[in-house]
Amino acid sequence: MDEQTLSRARAEVIEKFINLEWLVIAIIAQHYFGRVYLRFVLEVLYDPSFSFYLKRRVLEKIIPDLDKKKIGNLRRLSTIRAYFAHTAEQLFKGPPPPREGQIAIAPDPRNLDKAIDYAQLYKEFQTMEPAVAEYLFKVYQELGGEYVKG
59 near 75, Cβ under 8 Å? no
What whole-number percentage of the chain has pLDDT above 90? 68
Q: Which secondary structure element, helix H or strand E, spans residue 18, and what is its range?
A: helix 3-33
Residue 37, in any domain of the structure: yes
Residue 147, in any domain of the structure: no
Residue 40, in any domain of the structure: yes
Residue 133, in any domain of the structure: yes
Residue 93, in any domain of the structure: no
Average pLDDT across the chain, whole number: 87
Number of structural domains, the chain?
A: 1
**pLDDT (tens digit per residue) in 72-103:** 999 999 999 999 988 765 444 455 555 555 45
- 56: domain range? 3-88+129-142
136 near 147, Cβ under 8 Å? no
pTM of the model: 0.84
**pLDDT (tens digit per residue) in 102-129:** 454 566 667 767 778 889 999 999 999 9
Residue 109, in any domain of the structure: no
